Amino acid sequence: MCNPHYNKRVTNKKTMFDSKLQPMYDGQVLVNEQAKKDAVVLAALHAMAQRQFKPQEINRHGVWYISDRH
């Protein structure tokens, strides 16, 4: 069974999952403060914004949605 203080301990920390989201790219993306400071996240969002947030088509078969579910 989980320690009853576990959730309290986790939610007191600043994480990628806090609820203070701010719009970017004309409101098309919501990010928190930590994501706005992450260079990798910003680079990925910039690349996605250049294609207007449409799925990336890699080959002639269209978009592939990969999942670990069988």
Does residue 10 register a pLDDT over 90?
no
Q: List, in sequence order, every beta strand (DSSP E) within the chain.
A: 22-24, 29-31
The residues spanned by each domain of the chain are: 1-70
Bridge partner list, 65: none
pTM: 0.56
CB 32 within 8 A of CB 16: yes
Q: What are residue 29's phi and psi, to 5 degrees?
A: -135, 140
Summarised one tens digit per residue, pLDDT across range 21-54 is 899 999 899 998 899 999 999 999 999 999 998 8
**How far is residue 22's CA from residue 15's CA, in Å, rounded to a whole number?**
15
Tally: H helices and E strands in the chain: 3, 2
